[in-house]
């Protein structure tokens, strides 16, 4: 038990110090030596858990994606709005971490990793809502809405997560439903003008 707690503490120390460096400089400028110096550990300890700074970033993102996925699974049966709120609440809880990862120094691909993960969870929901569309067309719907949602999410996070998760979720849901309200599920066409 004590060993597990010590490992968790060491990994947390490494991650916290890495994130503080990431606030100041881009990933490609961060060295293992800097991380170790700041975390007050030797390089052998670092290499016991991570290959390099890129591997550390991947592991942090994987943990975050797992946490978001768990939050989604707990709320997906309650509908899209509740699921969005739960995801946004989780992000707000860890706002400093998300602000850093979504910053210019962070991983520009991370928002899309989140939406790719969400697609796995939402795929069956979209299939039920649009049963007459092909798998490709359902994927297009998701990609279209995910790209717009990703932009809103990027802005919300980079602006300091000021708005309440409920307000952001409601806004995203309204945009998506407004966009798709004239979608003809029988023909797969958007009707802009009658």
Where do the structural domains in the chain lie, given as residue ranges? Answer: 1-50, 56-190
Residue 154 pLDDT = 87
Q: Could you tell me if residue 130 is left (phi over 0), alpha (psi between -120 and 50 degrees) or otherwise beta?
A: beta
Rounded Cα–Cα distance for residues 125 and 59 (Å): 29
- Residue 74 pairs in a beta bridge with none
Buried b or exposed e, range 85-119, using 16+ CB within 10 angstroms:
bbbbebbbeeeebbbbbbeebbbeebbebbbebbe
Please tell me the pTM assigned to this model.
Answer: 0.79
- 1-50: which CATH architecture? Orthogonal Bundle (1.10)
Q: Which range has highest mean pLDDT (2-6, 15-19, 135-139, 178-182)? A: 15-19
Residue 192 pLDDT = 41
Q: Of the ranges 20-34, 69-83, 180-194, which one carries the lowest mean pLDDT score?
A: 180-194
Banded model confidence at residue 121, pLDDT cuts 50, 70, 90: low
Residue 191 pLDDT = 46
Q: Which range has highest mean pLDDT (20-24, 145-149, 178-182)? A: 20-24
């Amino acid at each position: 038990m004590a060993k597990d707690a010590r490992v968790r503490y060491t990994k947390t120390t490494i991650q916290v110090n890495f994130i503080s460096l990431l606030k100041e400089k881009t990933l490609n400028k961060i060295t293992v030596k800097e991380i170790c110096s700041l975390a007050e550990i030797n390089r052998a300890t670092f290499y016991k858990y991570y290959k390099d700074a890129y591997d550390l970033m991947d592991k942090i993102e994987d943990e975050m994606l797992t946490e978001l996925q768990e939050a989604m699974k707990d709320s997906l049966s309650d509908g899209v709005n509740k699921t969005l709120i739960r995801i946004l609440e989780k992000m707000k809880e860890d706002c400093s971490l998300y602000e850093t990862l979504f910053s210019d120094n962070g991983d520009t691909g991370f928002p899309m990793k989140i939406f790719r993960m969400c697609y796995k969870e939402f795929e069956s929901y979209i299939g039920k809502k649009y049963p007459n569309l092909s798998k490709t067309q359902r994927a297009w719907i998701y990609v279209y809405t995910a790209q717009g949602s990703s932009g809103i999410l990027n802005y919300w996070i980079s602006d300091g997560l000021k708005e309440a998760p409920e307000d952001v979720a409601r806004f995203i849901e309204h945009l998506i439903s407004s966009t798709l309200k004239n979608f003809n599920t029988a023909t797969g066409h958007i009707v802009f003008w009658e």
